[in-house]
Structure 1
Amino acid sequence: MKNEKGFTLVEMLIVLMIISTLLLITIPNIASNNSLVQEKGCDALIKLAETQAQAYRIENGSLPTDLQTLVDDNFLEQSTCPGGDQLEILQDGTVQKVVVSP
């Protein structure tokens, strides 16, 4: 009796074809939604920065003057959005995107 362990070449080719088809379907969807993902990531970072500014105020008695202070004191890991947009903190502790005019 023959011991048939493992996959045949045909089975491996079928698996590779299925994986390739799935990749062809998913990669364009991910690429087309990249700007939406970056926008949502920036919105989340703004909310996090506002929360961390209040935590900084509780710990230090005053709001930070800029987001780099939050980064330097380890309240935030970054002060820019995933898409590269700069953020700024206002006097009331809210955070907004910096609008750069062309």
Structure 2
Amino acid sequence: MGYANGKYAFGYCDRTGFRYKLKDMVEQYKGGRPTGMRVGKDVVDEDQPQLLLGQTRTGDNNALRHPRPESSLSASRRLYAWNPIGGGVTSLGSRTVGLTMHGQTGFLTVTIS
């Protein structure tokens, strides 16, 4: 048993009740599973990626399989400095001259009256 082509058929959106061509209606998904609702393409809610944590690849490969490091000795021993905003320039290229940071810890007393 087959289904009719239905190129002139209409259907009604389960969300809004508006009439759409049946071929232009899509199934609504939630959490990666179909909800059984057929809605128009302009009112479909895209499935949230945070609900698909078990299906989304979250790993990040850190190592290279066949690395080809720099072969010259001087280039492999070169130091690179951190580059924050402000300050002067050191011999290594860092811009940390003149930048100082101060931190402090203490206690806080809250009185509610």
What is the TM-score normalised by the length of structure 2? 0.25
Larger RCO, structures 1/2 (Cα 8 Å, 6+ apart): 1
The structure where helix makes up a greater share of residues is: 1
Between structure 1 and structure 2, the one with the greater Rg is 2
What is the TM-score normalised by the length of structure 1? 0.26
The structure where strand makes up a greater share of residues is: 2
